[in-house]
Chains A and B, each alone.
Chain A
Amino acid sequence: MQFMLLFSRQGKLRLQKWYVPLSDKERKKISRDLVQTILARKPKMCSFLEWRDLKIVYKRYASLYFCCAVEDQDNELITLEIIHRYVELLDKYFGSVCELDIIFNFEKAYFILDEFLLGGEAQETSKKNVLKAIEQADLLQEVRLLV
């Protein structure tokens, strides 16, 4: 996977994760282009589209669009389920997640993503294991560690 974007129906970026080195300017341009393209699509259209030399896989959950860019050889359907599993993880962690959770706890959304995907590849697909890792980290909060 080359990158993942989360954005609202109004086109506001809520999360962006880049797995390829790109300059700030390029990132902004790509996000702008893609957000526009996807928002222009009708609800019943298919979840995949060709975009430049990448394949875009996207899905809308309530007010949020989840969008991944994968390479030519990558599997679209499994990418769609990567999105779903990530949504499940957020949902389980926040308890019926909504856009506001992601806005106010954006850092958590990033941490969960890092446990699930790393370098653009699925690292751990078991929901239990990912949540366990995050909860363990949460337990460390405010505990002064003796190094």
Chain B
Amino acid sequence: MPAVSKGDGMRGLAVFISDIRNCKSKEAEIKRINKELANIRSKFKGDKALDGYSKKKYVCKLLFIFLLGHDIDFGHMEAVNLLSSNKYTEKQIGYLFISVLVNSNSDLISLINNAIKNDLSSRNPTFMNLALHCIANVGSREMAEAFAAEVPRILVAGDTMDSVKQSAALCLLRLNRTSPDLVLMGEWTARVVHLLNDQHLGVVTAATSLITTLAQKSPEDFKTSVSLAVARLSRIVSSASTDLQDYTYYFVAAPWLSVKLLRLLQCYPPPEDGAIRGRLTECLETILNKAQEPPKSKKVQHSNAKNAVLFEAISLIIHHDSEPTLLVRACNQLGQFLQHRETNLRYLALESMCTLASSEFSHEAVKTHIETVINALKSERDVSVRQRAVDLLYAMCDRSNAKQIVAEMLSYLETADYSIREEIVLKVAILAEKYAVDYTWYVDTILNLIRFAGDYVSDEVWYRVIQIVINRDEVQGYAAKTVFEALQAPACHENLVKVGGYILGEFGNLIAGDSRSSPLIQFDLLHSKFHLCSVPTRALLLSAYIKFINLFPEVKGTIQEVLRSDSQLRNADVELQQRAVEYLRLSSIASTDILATVLEEMPPFPERESSILAKLKRKKGPGNLHPDLDENRKERSANGGTVAASPTPSTDLLGLGSTITTQNSAPPASKGTSLLVDVFSENIAAFPVETPVAVGPVADENFSREGGLHPYCTLGDSFVGIQSWQSIQFINPKIPDMRCLPLAPFPSRFVCKNNGVLYENQLLQIGLKSEFRQNLGRMYVFFGNKTSTQFMNFAASVVCQDTLQPADPTVDGGAQLQQILNIECMSDFVDAPVLNIQFRYGGTLQNVAVKLPITLNKFFQPTEMTSQDFFQRWKQLGAPQQEVQKIFKAKHSMDTEVTKAKIMGFGAALLDGVDPNPSNFVGAGVIHTKTTQVGCLLRLEPNTQAQMYRLTLRTSRDTVSQRLCDLLSEQF
């Protein structure tokens, strides 16, 4: 051994270490350690003053014991004493002890800081380095307070030695990481940037790390580093491999520094100056070219160092995302690595391609490697590599290859490692939903997920499939048929029983016509699984049964018998028992009509960010999750390079993906609404706790617990939410006199549309999402602050019979606030309710009043009917006051498809082949109000030559005919 053991060898320490190593058991080791601790304690407490050497030896032993994993609660004072020793090795051990065993004991901290201060001012570079290393290692707040101003001075002082500069740079970096608020920019920053020009490559290496960290904090202050970094990089890249002497590593010129410079450049957008930009592009090309050259050494270190630089260069190319040629070259290079014999390179290539897949320039190029990636998924022996392959498949997925990728992931799932199954399930579920062309494929995919990996299918996934089936009429019959078939399997996963129970309970009637899936067979099938299921699933099945009673009166007796059995009525589980009792009672006393109302089909769920995606984000953290190009690009460009930390105002108020996050950062809304939103987004991921009859008298009288009515909700907490729902019930006419305010009408397109931007001025944007079903509706109002200043005293109220609870009184700059309105149509009406908004912006009070686009036609339910029926009813509604007709000039181009879309958007069913003249349009539907239902027929006859329309409305109520005619005629 060299110099090491010559002078400072601590024999006692070596003996102690040998003893420990010779211990045969853990107990023996602990015994030996306790003996040593007792010995050291007595030495430290003893009357005899210890010499420096002994102190050093004992402190070192304590350190050793600590590093073995034992607690050390003394010796700190002795270590601090060593700091001021005039023997270098004693000082060194003192510092080591302090660095490893930081203790925020305040008396000691001031002593330590004092010792450090002395060493920093000693002008002895070795001592200064020890002190700087200690600060960098401890990096505590107290040290930052003491030295955040001093270290930059040392760093830029003209007479500081190179090695001290290096330590000072990284010491400052550490302080900036722990206490960025204490590291203040100043006159020194400009001089730090110039360290990039330093002669000494070690100084440049350390300084580059520091500048990168600081540039992330305040990019403006370090903008000049871009040109210097490019110049430096260019010199390194073009140097011969021997030029840099000891900074050349296995024939690669300064790989660490190159990587750091490339990393620094990723803090900024591409350089604006053409010359610098050209030089940088040249550098990147040279790095890509070198990858194609034959290796200068067979050593793995050579290829690793070379490829480290290459991968960092590719990261920069992806970050700039502006040079299509470079992006495609990068992709081709990575493509080569995909089949490299080095596992490490295959891993990194898969990882790096994931980010390339999100660039519009290289997305297609990445897709060409699909077969290789699928092959990696099947053949890689290392699970971490396979995981990367899954990530890449997810990132490269789009509509063109979704079916193939989903199929591959599904088949991989059967053999996949347990550790990554859940994530694959989430990813498959997201891709299947996102790229579903037909929803039958989606339903099949999710059922396969449950079949192959039922245990890993989280609640979010099966909630989601139900949400989608409920919201899409076209898939309901297929879903019922498919779950019915899947349930035939003798052993099926409980999640399948849940989905099956829910879907058959809602849509079992759609397949009941087939004698092979008659109501009784459906019920028997579900009930055959009942006893094998857990309590929550049984509870869900009971709810499905009561729904069956409504759907199929013929099985009522059978189901009542099941409910009546002791195993249900006297079930030990309170929830099950209560459901059985309530459902049995409900089915016995309620009339068919009441049953039909109470157990009506679930209303559509509000569209919002998939709860699955949210779950995946929680699992993986935000980042490259979304395979969608546009969203990724938007996000990136919004960040303007790297750093913009301030929240960007959401451009699309109704966009779901990015907006959700903005909402989260917005101040919590007032108790009422925020509770609601929370309940919605977190607690019951997919199931709004709302029953179609929440306001009906039946519900109130017969059931004390409103929630118990809701068949599928078992989450007690969430009922709190119901209290805070605000209902607007409105009867015509009831709008108070609002004429004193400038009243903004809603854009007429809202008559046929439910979502969009309702109102916008320089300060405020109001967005809407709404949905209606029968006489009920729900409207989400989004208030977006377009400014960077906070709105104060924000209040939004709806002028109607009820006023709404105020929203949150402040809206932060760039933030968004959401309010939810529940709407019930009591009878037909003309005037829309008015939304009044008041807030303080700057010093002035702002008043906005805008009509909400709640129009009578929103409560339309389309009715399909044959030509014969139509004309029969048309004749029945022949009384003069029932018909309203209007002839008017076309305001828009008379496009057939657009017209059809408008009539459907209006809410009526568009009936084909009813009118003998094919260019005419006829429609039918029912307007639902709380008190009555009004049947409506309409006919629109275009005359393209004259650019005129004739619109005829016939309904059973004259006011409705008039109102609908007025509304619809405005649309063409």
Closest-CB distance, A5 to chain B (whole angstroms): 11
Give the chain A neighbours of B673 by CB distance below 8 A.
none
A62, CB-defined interface residue at 8 Å:
no
Kindly list chain A residues whose C-beta atoms are within 8 Å of the C-beta of B88: 137, 140-141, 143, 145
User: Chain B residues near A13 (CB, 8 Å)?
Assistant: 67, 69
State whether the Cβ of B307 lies closer than 8 Å to any Cβ in chain A: yes
Q: With A81-B308, A125-B202 in contact, is A45–B381 under 8 Å at CB?
A: yes
Contact between chains at A124 and B385 (CB < 8 Å): no
The interface bits of chain A over 106-137 (1 if a CB of B lies within 8 angstroms of the residue's CB, else 0) are 11101100100011111111111100010111
Q: Quick check: B301 and A81 within 8 Å, CB to CB? A: yes
Residues in A whose Cβ lies below 8 Å from that of B385: 46
Q: Which of B140, B246, B344, B621 meets A46, CB within 8 Å?
A: B344
Which A residues are CB-close (under 8 A) to B346?
A: 46
Contact among A28, A119, A133 with B177 in the assembled complex (CB-CB below 8 Å): A119
Q: Is the CB of B304 within 8 A of A106?
A: no
Residue among A78, A84, A108 making CB contact with B4, cutoff 8 Å: A108
Bound CA–CA A18/B655 (angstroms) = 42
A85 interface contact, C-beta 8 A: yes
Interface status of B155 (Cβ within 8 A of chain A):
no
**A26 on interface, CB distance cutoff 8 Å:** no
B597 adjacent to chain A (CB < 8 Å)? no
| Residues of A contacting B14 in the complex (Cβ-Cβ under 8 angstroms) | 104
Whether the Cβ atoms of A81 and B304 lie closer than 8 Å is yes
Q: Does B387 contact A (CB under 8 A)?
A: yes
Chain A residues in 8 Å Cβ range of B140: 21
B129: nearest residue on chain A (CB-CB)?
Answer: A133
A80 within 8 A of B: yes
Q: Is B2 located at the chain interface by the 8 A CB criterion? A: yes
Give the residues in chain B near A95, CB-CB below 8 Å: 1-2
Report the separation of the CA atoms of residues A142 and B88 in the bound assembly, to the nearest whole angstrom: 8
Q: Which residue of A lies closest to B343 (CB)?
A: A46
- Judging by beta carbons under 8 Å apart, are A21 and B387 in contact? no
Known: A46-B382, A72-B623. A119 touches B67 (CB 8 A): no
Q: Which of A50, A84, A101, A136 is B126 in contact with, Cβ under 8 Å?
A: A136
* With A107-B96, A129-B202, A147-B122: A75-B246 Cβ-Cβ less than 8 Å: no
- Interface code A24-65, partner B: CB below 8 Å = 1, 0 otherwise? 100010000000000000101111111001000000000000
Say whether B263 faces chain A, with CB atoms less than 8 Å apart.
Answer: yes
Question: Are A107 and B67 within 8 A (Cβ)?
Answer: no
Q: Which residue of B lies closest to A94 (CB)?
A: B1
Whether B8 and A45, one on each chain, are in contact in the complex, defined by CB atoms closer than 8 angstroms, is: no
User: Contact: B96 with A48, CB < 8 Å?
Assistant: no
- Inter-chain CA distance A73–B140, complex, in Å, is 25
Also in contact, A48 and B133, with CB within 8 A (given A95-B1, A103-B17): no
Complex contact A125–B136 (CB within 8 A)? no
A127 proximity list for chain B (CB < 8 A): 246
A110 touches B96 (CB 8 A): yes
Q: Would A125 and B89 be within 8 Å (CB), given that A141-B7, A141-B8 are in contact?
A: no
B972 is an interface residue with CB less than 8 A from chain A: no
* Chain A hits for B381, CB < 8 A: 42, 44-45
User: Most chain-B CB neighbours within 10 Å: which of A49, A50, A145?
Assistant: A145
- Nearest B residue to A114 via CB reads B133
CB–CB A122/B343 < 8 A: no
- Bitwise, B84-121 to A at CB < 8 A (1) or not (0) is 00111100110010001000000000000000000000
Q: Is the CB of B382 within 8 A of A45?
A: yes
Using A19-B174, A110-B96 as known contacts, say yes or no to A121 and B206 having CB atoms under 8 A apart: yes
**A-side contacts of B202, CB under 8 Å:** 123-126, 129
Residues in A neighbouring B373, C-beta threshold 8 A = none
A48 and B93 CA atoms in complex are apart in Å by 34
Could you tell me the distance between the alpha carbons of A101 and B9 in the complex, rounded to whole angstroms?
13
Is there a chain A Cβ closer than 8 Å to B784's Cβ? no
Q: Is the CB of B163 within 8 A of A133?
A: yes
* Contact between chains at A119 and B347 (CB < 8 Å): no
CB closest residue in chain A, given B56: A107
B520 to chain A minimum Cβ distance, whole angstroms, is 52
**How long is the Cα–Cα vector from A103 to B178 in the complex, in angstroms?**
31
The yes or no answer to B3 lying at the interface (CB within 8 A) is: yes
For the A-B complex, the count of residue pairs with Cβ-Cβ distances under 8 Å equals 193
Structural contact, B256 and A16, CB atoms closer than 8 A:
no
Verify B93–A107 contact, CB threshold 8 A: yes
Interchain CA distance A12-B60 in the complex, whole Å: 19
Q: Name the CB-closest residue of A to B97.
A: A107
**Majority DSSP secondary structure for residues of A touching B:** mixed
Cβ of A48 and Cβ of B209 under 8 Å apart? no
Question: Are A118 and B170 neighbours in the complex by a CB distance under 8 Å?
Answer: yes
Q: Which of B269-327 contact A (CB under 8 A)?
A: 301, 304-305, 307-308, 311-312, 315
Give Cα distance in the complex from A53 to B621, angstroms.
8
Interface residue B961 (Cβ < 8 Å from any Cβ of A)? no
What residues of chain A lie closer than 8 Å to B347, measured between beta carbons?
A: 46, 48
C-alpha gap A46/B301 in the complex (Å): 15
**Contact A121–B173 (Cβ < 8 Å):** yes
Is residue B348 contacting chain A, with contact meaning CB distance below 8 A?
yes
- Residues of chain B within 8 A of A103, CB atoms compared: 17, 21
Contact at A142–B343, with CB atoms within 8 Å?
A: no
User: Are A119 and B136 CB-contacts (below 8 A) given A45-B382, A124-B163, A129-B246?
Assistant: yes
Closest to A77 in B: B308
A46 close to B2 (CB less than 8 A): no
**One of A28, A46, A104 near B69 (C-beta < 8 A):** A28
A49 to B385 alpha-carbon distance, docked (Å): 9
Instruction: Indicate which residue in A48, A82, A104 contacts B384 across the interface (CB closer than 8 Å).
Output: A48
Q: Which residues of A contact B178 (CB under 8 A)?
A: 21
Flag if B96 contacts A84 (CB, 8 Å).
Answer: no
Per-position contact with A for B234-270: 1 when CB-CB < 8 Å, else 0?
Answer: 0000000000011101000011110110010010000
Which of A75, A127, A145 is packed against the most chain B CB atoms within 10 Å? A75
Instruction: List A contacts of B885 (CB < 8 A).
Output: none
Min CB distance A51 to B, Å, is: 10
Q: Is A93 an interface residue (CB 8 A)?
A: yes
> Are B307 and A119 in contact, CB atoms less than 8 angstroms apart?
no
Looking at the complex, which one of A48, A82, A119 makes contact with B139 (CB distance below 8 Å)? Answer: A119
Q: Is B137 an interface position by the 8 A CB rule?
A: yes
CA of A45 to CA of B133, assembled, Å:
35
CB–CB A121/B86 < 8 A: no
| Interface membership of B598, Cβ < 8 A | no
> Within the complex, which residue of A104, A119, A120, A129 is in contact with B17, where a contact is CB–CB below 8 Å?
A104
Check B311–A75 contact: CB distance below 8 A: yes
User: A35 CB to closest chain B CB, in angstroms?
Assistant: 12
On whether the beta carbons of B255 and A78 are closer than 8 Å, the reply is yes
Report Cα–Cα, A85/B173, bound state, in Å. 22
Query: Closest CB-CB distance, B893 to chain A, in whole Å?
Result: 52
Q: A13-B69, A78-B259, A101-B1 are in contact. Are A125 and B307 (CB under 8 A)?
A: no
Chain A residues contacting B725 (CB-CB under 8 Å) are none
Pick the contact of A125 from B63, B205, B311, B382 — CB < 8 Å?
A: B205
Which residue among B254, B259, B346 has the maximum number of chain A CB atoms within 10 Å of its CB?
B259
> B202's closest neighbor in chain A, by CB?
A124
Q: A75-B263, A76-B348 are in contact. List 18 more A-B contacts (CB 8 A).
A: A15-B67, A24-B71, A42-B382, A45-B384, A48-B347, A49-B384, A77-B304, A110-B100, A114-B137, A118-B174, A123-B206, A124-B163, A125-B247, A133-B129, A140-B89, A141-B7, A142-B87, A145-B87
10 shortest interchain CB distances as A-B pairs: A77-B308, A119-B174, A118-B170, A140-B88, A78-B308, A126-B246, A46-B343, A121-B209, A141-B7, A119-B170
27 A-B pairs within 8 Å (CB atoms) are namely A16-B67, A21-B139, A46-B343, A46-B385, A75-B263, A76-B344, A77-B305, A77-B308, A77-B348, A78-B312, A81-B304, A81-B305, A105-B5, A107-B60, A107-B63, A111-B92, A118-B167, A119-B136, A119-B209, A121-B206, A126-B246, A129-B163, A129-B246, A138-B3, A141-B3, A142-B8, A142-B89
